[in-house]
Structures are given as structure tokens and as C-alpha cells.
Chains A and B, each alone.
Chain A
Amino acid sequence: MRAMVYRGPYRLRVEEKDRPVIEHPNDAIVRVTRAAICGSDLHLYHGMMPDTRVGMTFGHEFIGVIDEVGPSVRNVKPGDRVMVPFNVYCGSCFFCARGLFSNCHNVNPNATAVGGIYGYSHTCGGYDGGQAEYVRVPFADVGPSPIPEWMDDDDAVLLTDALATGYFGAQLGDIVEGDVVVVFGAGPVGLYAAKSAWLMGAGRVIVIDHLDYRLEKAASFAHAETYNFAEYDDIVVQMKKITDHLGADVAIDAVGAEADGNFLQHVTAAKLKLQGGSPVALNWAIDSVRKGGTVSVLGAYGPMFSAVKFGDALNKGLTLRMNQCPVKRQWPRLFEHIRNGYLKPSDIVTHRIPLEHIAEAYHIFSAKLDGCIKPLIIPNAA
């Protein structure tokens, strides 16, 4: 089969790879019909995530058709059109039994601090991902769900991570009616978090970024008030000014490990790999939120330490909430919101690129060329 293969930092190619096989009785093999590149894939692509091996296939956002199932699979069958959450999870461990699917303890031998994620290094379990024609899906009775008849493929693939994560992040903010919510990052997850904040009754939603084209999308797609931090000497002071010096009630970090805005933080983290991530957006969130407020962290960070302003968080009495999103918990409600016309996930898709050109897709997304917000990957066998 054809699959994206990592060759080292900033390098990847498409090559022939063995089709995955059933390795466990509850495995399924899925023929991928749509995949996406996630902002967090760029951390792998840039060589930031420890134990990212040459030869691995990335991709944790994908949908497809069940091609083959193991002998114990009961809930899906060959031919089913399914969406697959980015979490690999067993459904029965201590954490899964409590709904914390992203923290599953039975699928990742390489680390106890993170569950399993498709195509996301050996630190997240060593599973090949869905930027390929076929992918192995463990625990087929637990993770994959049939795609509703009425849902189109572009919307479905965005439910496997980006939309669910943005929606989850707004929930982590514990938003109540009339709250002022500031979202750092106008990438896909930030856009969905901003949109979701309104569903939870926010009274004002502010989005911060440095890319004008993404801020324009935040205004049109998420009805947000926008600020380009490059235009201000100090974005934290600006946030105080526009909130009558109180600060926002809720701040959401939807940027993560490669945040810009502080050269030293960015270079030490993203280029020199001396930090788990560049916590610029997280530090701005801590400083922009009001005392007693809540900071929700959606941006992905590596397992190493990062220079976070923890003293400010303590002194302000903040609540810091974070997790990888337990995707499937969000789906029933998100299906309702999409059906009701409150959300149209695919409105943020800017590029649809054949698998064979995935190296260009990564470069375009990474360098933010051509107005790129969300690139989808179309495998040959789709």
C-alpha cells in the first residue's frame, strides 16, 4: 500500500509499505478515505516529540471503510463506513471505565503519562497512523463508530480530533453565561474552541493570533473579536485594557508547543528541542485571565519540562484544566449541533491534497503558505 513515511525532521515521503495485518483479536483494518494533518503533527514533523522513528506513518485524524476484522469484533463489520477517534483505547481499564479514554492504560507500553494515539511517535504507543491507504485500528468494538448517513466525509474526519478537541477545550473552561473567553491561536482547534464557547453561553469571545488570514476566519467562522498580537507591544496589557483591567474569565491555549511571540522561547523549544514546548501562549493565557479564572490547555506539549509561569498561576488562584480529548464522549452532542446547523466543521478546510503530494502539504501547513488553515489528505484508494 502507499503510505506517508517519516524520514527525519522536516522530511517525509510516500512509499510502498506492507498493508497492516490483524495483530489482536479485536483489531480491524480500515481502508482510509480521508485523513487530515493536525497542527500537532507538525511537532512530529519538526522532530520535537521524543521517540519519533524514521519509517513511521503519521496521521491521527482519519475516517474510512472497515476492510477486515479480527475474530472477536462484534460491533463493526467489513464495508462499514466509520470514523475513528484519535485515541487508541481499550474501553475497560481504570481510566476508560471512568470515561477518560485519552488516558487509557492498556495501549501504550512506552509511557504511562499518555494514552495511545495513532501515528504519534512511540511515546504515544508506536502505532502507525492514517495518512496511508490502510491502517490497523485496535479495539474495533470500542473506538470506531459508523458515520451517520447524513454526514459528509469532510465533516466526519474533523470530528476525529480537531472539532472534538476544540469543543472539549471550551468545556474545560467551565464557561458560564456571560463569561469573557479569550482563545490564543486561530488554528483549527482554536477556531472550534471559540465557536464552542458561544454554545456554552459566553458573553464575549476574543481570538488572538499573528496571522491575519486566520484572524479573518475567526471573525467570520467563529464570530469572534480578533487581535493580532504582532500589532501590540504587549498583548497581555491589551487584554487587560479591553476587559476594563479585570482580565478574561476564561483563557484557552489552543497553540501548544511551537508558539510564537517570544523568540527565545520558540527557538529553545521548536528549534533546539531544549523544552517540551514553547509556552508563550500558555503564559499569555495565565497572565490574561482574571484572578480566580480558568485556563484551559488544548495545545499539545512534549513530555519534557517547559518554562511555564507557574508562580503567576498560583498567585492568581487560577484553575488550570487540560487533557487530551476523550473524543468519542463528545460525538453524540456534536452530531446534534452539526445537524442543527450550529456547527459546520468543514468550513475551515482550505486544502485537499492527494496522499502522493503529502510532503508539499506538510510544508504548506508548517510554513503557513497559501492561506492554509486545515489540509485534508485524500488517499489513492479513497
Chain B
Amino acid sequence: MPYTPDKPKLAESSDELRARIPGWGADLDPKDRPSVPKERFDPNLNGAHWEFPDRQPEKWPRERSIEHKFLTPVFGTSCPPKGLSGMIRRYSYRRYSEGRAAHWLLLLAADRVDAVESTVGSFLSRHPDNPLTETGVLSEFSHHGLASRLRGRRVDRVHHPLDPIIVAAPWVLAGGVAYLTLRRVVGRRRS
């Protein structure tokens, strides 16, 4: 009880816990744990045979945080920035530090633009996006979708209906815009 000096008694003693739970107390000594102390200086321990690594060739201007002194010697080369989303991303990295909300909000906005650009682009390719297969929603039928969602008192049921809206909204919006555009074009030709 917090109103008196002593700690509440535990239901089981250490000996009882050691007998019941495999490995109980194997790391009992707080000083003898792999992450203690937090910082342990030993530059020779890690397999590195360099003080500063060789530099990876930069094949295109690699965007970087302005909090870095220079481009890191090694970096990922997945998905170079492209299109409008790439312009937003480059601007965000060039203009704002990681400490600014604008940096992250622009990157999130670029992600949404990227998704639209890529989806539209996919319809001009041999591999158009297919929301039915790409969302994995068919597993609802093969992996007890309804029963899983109804079982127990899971609290996420209340926002499950938002997921299909989030997924479908851009498609419905794009379909609506395409329909209106087509109707206008056809209307003009007829008149």
C-alpha cells in the first residue's frame, strides 16, 4: 500500500517462481545484462575494419536531411524521387530540418501524391493496380474474417468500417472525376 512504507507482498516467493518458470532469474544481476551499461566504448568489437567507411557512389543527387554535415557514406537506393511527389520530397529535405512539422507533413503529402501518380501510371502499364488483390481483402473469406472480428470484446471493431473508406475513397473520387470528364467531352462532341 502506498500509504505505508512497505511494498505489498507478492503472492509467490522467488524460490516458488524459480521452480515454476523456466529460466526465472537467469539475468537476475542488473549489471550482467547485454544492454548494460547503455554505452560501452569498444570500436574494435563490431567487425568494422575502417575508421570511416568507403563511400558508396552517388548515382543521382541523393536527398538528405539538412541536419547531416554531408551525405552518409552508405545509403539506400530504393525508389529515387520522381514526378510531383519527388519534387515535394526534394523540397522538404532541402528546406526543412527534422525538427520542423512542415518537413514531415510535406513528406506525408508526397506519399499520398506518389500513390495517386503510381496508380494512374499503372493503368498505362502492363500491370494495372488491382485493389481487390492488392488489399488482400479476399483473405476475409479464407481466414474467418467475420468470425474473427465478432469474437470477444475487441475494441477495434468500432473503427474497422473506416478502413474500406480510406482504401476506396481515392478510387471512388478518381472514378467520379473520370466519369464527369468523359461526360463533358462526349457532350461537347455531340453539340
Binding site for B on A (CB under 8 A): 7-13, 15, 23-26, 47, 50-57, 72, 74-75, 88-92, 96-101, 105-113, 116, 122-123, 125-128, 138-139, 141-142, 167-168, 171-172, 174-178, 180, 196, 198-201, 203-204, 210-213, 223, 228-231, 243-247, 260-261, 263, 266-267, 270-271, 273, 290-291, 302-305, 326, 329-330, 332-333, 337, 340-343, 359-364, 367-372
The distance from the CB of A103 to the nearest CB of chain B, in whole angstroms, is 10
Tell me, in angstroms, the Cα distance from A141 to B53 when the chains sit together: 12
Cross-interface CB contact of A171 among B35, B129, B131, cutoff 8 Å: B35
Tell me, in angstroms, the Cα distance from A196 to B92 when the chains sit together: 41
Main secondary structure of the interface of B (DSSP, over half): loop
Q: Is the CB of A363 within 8 A of B23?
A: no
The distance from the CB of A10 to the nearest CB of chain B, in whole angstroms, is 5
User: Which residues of B lie under 8 Å from residue A211 when comparing CB positions?
Assistant: 152, 154
Closest to B93 in A: A110
Cross-interface CB contact of B73 among A13, A90, A333, cutoff 8 Å: A90
Interface string of B146-164 (1 = CB under 8 A from A): 0011011111101110110
Tell me, in angstroms, the Cα distance from A98 to B46 when the chains sit together: 10
Q: Is the CB of B39 within 8 A of A110?
A: no
Tell me, in angstroms, the Cα distance from A377 to B79 when the chains sit together: 23
User: Which residues of B lie under 8 Å from residue A361 when comparing CB positions?
Assistant: 136
The distance from the CB of B21 to the nearest CB of chain A, in whole angstroms, is 5
Q: Is the CB of A91 within 8 A of B48?
A: yes
Q: Is the CB of A370 within 8 A of B144?
A: yes
Main secondary structure of the interface of A (DSSP, over half): loop
Cross-interface CB contact of A304 among B39, B101, B136, B145, cutoff 8 Å: B101
Decide: A367 near B145, CB < 8 A? Known: A7-B118, A142-B47, A177-B14: yes
User: In the complex, how many residues of chain B place their beta carbon closer than 8 angstroms to a beta carbon of chain A?
Assistant: 106
Closest to A223 in B: B21
Q: Is the CB of B166 within 8 A of A10?
A: yes
User: Which residues of B lie under 8 Å from residue A340 when comparing CB positions?
Assistant: 23, 26
B56 at the interface (CB under 8 A from A): yes
Q: Is the CB of A97 within 8 A of B43?
A: yes
B142 at the interface (CB under 8 A from A): yes
Q: Is the CB of B98 within 8 A of A198?
A: no
User: Which residues of A lie under 8 Å from residue B129 when comparing CB positions?
Assistant: 7, 11, 13
B1 at the interface (CB under 8 A from A): yes
3 nearest A-B pairs in the assembled complex, by CB-CB distance: A342-B23, A126-B76, A363-B136
Interface string of B84-102 (1 = CB under 8 A from A): 0100010001000010010
Q: Is the CB of B154 within 8 A of A210?
A: yes
Q: Is the CB of B104 within 8 A of A303?
A: yes
User: Which residues of A lie under 8 Å from residue B155 when comparing CB positions?
Assistant: 210, 229-230, 260-261
Chain B contacts with A in 6-49, Cβ cutoff 8 A: 7-8, 10-12, 14, 17, 20-28, 30, 33-36, 38-43, 45-49
Q: Is the CB of A203 within 8 A of B14?
A: yes
Closest to A321 in B: B38
Q: Is the CB of A171 within 8 A of B28?
A: no
The distance from the CB of A27 to the nearest CB of chain B, in whole angstroms, is 8
Q: Is the CB of B65 within 8 A of A112?
A: yes
Q: Is the CB of B154 within 8 A of A329?
A: no
Q: Is the CB of B75 within 8 A of A108?
A: yes
Decide: A109 near B162, CB < 8 A? Known: A53-B114, A92-B43: no
Closest to A336 in B: B26
Tell me, in angstroms, the Cα distance from A27 to B78 when the chains sit together: 15
Q: Is the CB of A111 within 8 A of B14?
A: no
Q: Is the CB of A109 within 8 A of B63?
A: yes
User: Which residues of B lie under 8 Å from residue A261 when comparing CB positions?
Assistant: 155
User: Which residues of A lie under 8 Å from residue B160 when comparing CB positions?
Assistant: 367
B187 at the interface (CB under 8 A from A): no
Cross-interface CB contact of A360 among B79, B130, B142, cutoff 8 Å: B142
The distance from the CB of A107 to the nearest CB of chain B, in whole angstroms, is 5
User: Which residues of B lie under 8 Å from residue A88 when comparing CB positions?
Assistant: 74
Decide: A127 near B131, CB < 8 A? Known: A8-B118, A337-B26: no
User: Which residues of B lie under 8 Å from residue A108 when comparing CB positions?
Assistant: 72, 75
Q: Is the CB of A106 within 8 A of B74?
A: yes
Q: Is the CB of B135 within 8 A of A359?
A: yes
Q: Is the CB of B17 within 8 A of A198?
A: yes
Decide: A96 near B46, CB < 8 A? Known: A200-B27, A343-B23: yes
Which of B48, B51, B160 has its CB near the most chain A CB atoms (within 10 A)?
B48
Chain B contacts with A in 97-111, Cβ cutoff 8 A: 98, 101, 104-105, 107-108, 110-111
The distance from the CB of A345 to the nearest CB of chain B, in whole angstroms, is 13
B143 at the interface (CB under 8 A from A): yes
Q: Is the CB of B156 within 8 A of A56?
A: no
User: Which residues of B lie under 8 Å from residue A91 when comparing CB positions?
Assistant: 46-48
9 examples of A-B residue contacts, CB within 8 angstroms: A13-B129, A51-B89, A56-B78, A72-B49, A100-B38, A109-B68, A201-B14, A291-B2, A367-B163
Q: Is the CB of A212 within 8 A of B27?
A: no
User: Which residues of A lie under 8 Å from residue B112 when comparing CB positions?
Assistant: 47
